[in-house]
Structure 1
Amino acid sequence: MIHPSQPFLPNSFAIHNGIQARSTGENTAQAALEMGPDSLNPYGLLHGGAYYTLADCACGTACRNDGRKYVTLHGGIDFIRSAQSGTITASAVVRHRGHTTCQVSVEITDQAGVLLATGNFTFFCITQH
């Protein structure tokens, strides 16, 4: 079990994109992004890739709470509303944990708690249990 006091392996891609992920309990995690000019699309809205990366980081962190290593097999996002500024948070919950796969759902909200997107991700375990 990974505990909040233990450091996660550095995720250079998340760091580059300004995403901070943390475990919030057994089978749960959150990732946050403070929106800036580099996270916007040409219309001044949060880029779809930023939503996806934020969700993937939160979901992967939730999977790794069992101490094993996972890679993303599949992920999907349903966009509901757009964000233009502020902090965006992805909250992930493991829905099923098998021997080789882990299925996680995620909700992305703005700092007022408004739902912006939902998603489901499936991860493959690359280490033995």
Structure 2
Amino acid sequence: MPNPTSLTVHQKSGLLDIAFDDGAAFSIPFELMRVYSPSAEVKGHGPGQEVLQVGKRDVRIDGIEPVGNYAVRPLFTDGHNTGIYTWDYLYKLGSEQQQLWQAYLGRLHDAGFAGDSGREPGTVVPGAPVQHGCGHHH
């Protein structure tokens, strides 16, 4: 598999630019990275165990930690920091992002979200327990 030659985090645009030694280069949205995190928290522990991620449109990356010579661990602004993104996985996210977006939007639609509503910050999956703790009481 190709190895990265550069990796740049763009806070304003919310994109991770990554170039590989085979000439491929991708701009991967933070939101796509977050909703497709390879962590157990998102992927589950087997097929059908995936946890739909919602409300991640405005998520940003506070930092990125290297993991050996094969991966990075982004520190997302929503507190998620357990995803280990291998070079192969980042290549897949970059090269397949159109299909991945469509699959994600399809899952949001299947969960009952219309249009982009499931991507908005503060969105909760219907039927999921609501976590309070932001200082607001309802």
**TM-score of the two chains, using structure 2 as the length reference:** 0.25
Of Structure 1 and Structure 2, the greater helix share is in 2
Which one has a bigger Cα radius of gyration? 2
Of Structure 1 and Structure 2, the greater strand share is in 1
Higher relative contact order (CA 8 A, sep 6+): 1
